Amino acid sequence: MLGDCSPGVLRRRRSWKWTEYPPDVIPAWVAEMDFDLAEPIKDAVRQAITAGDCGYPHPIGLGEVYAGFARQRFGWAPDPGRVFAVPDVMTGIVEALQEVTPHGSGVVINPPVYPPFFFRLRLTGRAVVEAPLRRDQDGGYHLDTGALDAALSRDDVAAYLLCSPHNPTGRVWSHDDLTAVAAICARRGVVLIVDEIHAPLALPGARHIPFLSLDIDEDLARRTFTFTSASKGWNIPGLKCGLAVVSSPQAAAALERRWEALLASHLGVLATAAAFADCVPWLDAARGQLDENRALLAALLARYLPAVGYRPPEASFLAWLDCRALSPGDAAALFLDRGRVAVTPGADFGDPGRGFVRLNMGTSPELLAEIVRRMGAAADAAPGPVADE
Ligand SMILES: Cc1ncc(COP(=O)(O)O)c(C=O)c1O
């Protein structure tokens, strides 16, 4: 179902991941997987193209299809009438923020976190206010509710953008974490945006809890917007369709006022409906492969890069690697220059990411092994750490 991810075939792709670097570089950076697409998604897009059906979208039935998936996967039944197609998750987030927060106000985020959270907020005329995750001595990341509360208490702050599951740490937040967030946001009166794009990819052993499945107070529901997508789970970000899910008429009206800015791609809507309705077996095959890959990565790192710290993600296909024990300098540049592997520099995720890299392991075990072998050789070939004077 997932294909064999042979580099020869992958190099025919013309997506950003496969065209940014010269052909001798293995790309393991941007968040696209290497697996083949699910057949029902290919059929949906093929049929539309064959019929010349490439007009503007009308997402009839998308809410029902998503609600069916959410019921089966998360035991939660959102109101299909409060599920909206958006062009992509980041556009949904910034349009919602523009609608319901004042220009110039602050939005709290939890670095290390998905880089566009920084620059899309700034582009939108919002100030980024950081409440970093807390990192324990074993390398585990936690929501720091004290830091969050302090940040949300500031007069200039109007909103909180929570990443759940979290990119790049792979954390799936617990019921206790999310109820703590709900209590703080209710008390501080802020807008809450929850980015649940990685939710379909919660891996075995973890249970993703959609924020709106919690019993939150009515006032908070009025100013809560959640976003998800088939784009990560089924690997179709280029088709441009995400979902906004809300639970109050006020939040729905805010999205409806922005309808023109929130038109998704028609092919994206069709593919998304096919994904949620007909591609759950594919999703589970991908989750199974990623479960294997996260364990394989631990073994590969122990063999080739024993100085690198790694906690297997609880969701998705991104691994957050602590490279601070490697030779000084930028680890991503080292892996690229000497190993011909492209990963994402940790500093892109904010200051707490310095010295880390993010590795995309949404590929075959064979390619993952080659990636880590190359990274290990690059580190071995690098000059050793400079001793402190
Ligand atoms: C947490 C998070 N949010 C949003 C996105 C981007 O999604 P979209 O392309 O739908 O804007 C990504 C992509 O990797 C992501 O990891």
Q: What is the pLDDT of residues 361-380, one digit of tens each?
A: 999 999 999 999 999 999 99
Residues 91 and 101: their CA atoms lie apart, in Å, by 15
pLDDT recorded at residue 382: 77
pTM for the complete prediction?
0.97
Model pLDDT, residue 125: 98
What average pLDDT score do residues 256-265 get? 97
Instruction: Give CA 1 to chain center in angstroms.
Output: 23
Asked if 287 contacts 205 with a C-beta cutoff of 8 angstroms, the reply is: no
Alpha carbons 6 and 276: distance in angstroms, whole number: 27
When pLDDT is cut at 50, 70 and 90, the band that residue 388 belongs to is very low
Region 111-119: mean pLDDT is: 98
Over 70: is that where the pLDDT of 384 sits? Answer: no
DSSP 65-124: HHHHHHHHHHS----GGGEEEES-HHHHHHHHHHHHS-TT-EEEE-SS--THHHHHHHHT
Tens of pLDDT, residue by residue over 214-228, are 999 999 999 999 999
Kindly give the distance from the C-alpha atom of residue 180 to the centroid of ligand 1, in angstroms, as a whole number: 24
Instruction: Please tell me the distance between residue 294's alpha carbon and the centre of ligand 1 in angstroms.
Output: 21
- Say yes or no: CB of residue 34 within 6 Å of ligand 1: no
User: Mind listing the pLDDT tens digit for each residue in 306-352?
Assistant: 999 999 999 999 999 999 999 778 999 999 999 999 999 999 999 99
User: Is residue 389's pLDDT more than 50?
Assistant: no
Q: Which of 90, 94, 166, 228 to mutate to test the pocket of ligand 1 (most atoms within 8 A of CB)?
A: 90
Q: Average of pLDDT values for 235-253? A: 98
Interatomic CA distance for residues 238 and 357, integer angstroms: 24
383 CA distance to ligand 1 centroid (A)? 36
Give the model's pLDDT for residue 327: 76
